[in-house]
Amino acid sequence: MRIEATKKLFTVDEFSLMGQTGIFTEDDRVELVEGEIIELGMIGERHAAAVDRPARLFMPLALENRTNIRVRNPMVLDKYNAPLPGITLLAPRADFYVTHHPAGDEVLLAVEVADTTLRYDRNVKMPIYAKLGIRESWIEDIAGDVILVFRDPAPDGYKTCLTLHRGDSVSPLVFPGLVVHVDQLLG
């Protein structure tokens, strides 16, 4: 007789309940990706700075009520995905999403910071973001000293991927008037 192991996938509701009942503490850095609980590593100094820089660059948009900015907070993309990007620019809401975590169609730009997680961010998270309708995502590749820009989401992944180097610049699709220099992001 052959016995096959099955994997238990968690839903966002079950994942949230784990947090509410104390299985996870506020200090735990975990996200739900494809029903699996992923423990995120410690945030080092370079990683923290790589999150702080775009937060500062995008702050004028928030002050003009053109976006809500989230730093290391979840978005709920579907029943099995509640990732925790470094920075998320959201459609502006006066209530700051107090009633729910933002969904894919409310995300204007998701920025991941990859210090040691480039392969995971690029090969796992980017296809999920594309499949679930996030129109644009960036990865700050700290080790590679580049910014990866993903656009044109489709069910099988982003159709456009740009690799930007120091000296290059980019504008978020939803904010074409904002020119972001790669050097500003990478420090």
- Per-residue pLDDT tens for 100-154? 999 999 999 999 999 999 999 999 999 999 999 999 999 999 999 999 999 999 9
Kindly list the distances between the CA atom of residue 51 and the CA atoms of 7, 34, 43, 144, 153, in Å, as whole numbers in the listed order.
33, 24, 10, 16, 23
Q: Are 17 and 32 in contact (CB under 8 A)?
A: no
Q: Where are the domains of the chain?
A: 43-186
Give strand pairing partners of 68.
90
Task: Say what the pTM is.
Answer: 0.93
pLDDT in tens, 35-93: 999 999 888 899 999 999 999 999 999 999 999 999 999 999 999 999 999 999 999 99
Superfamily of domain 43-186: tt1808, chain A (3.90.1570.10)
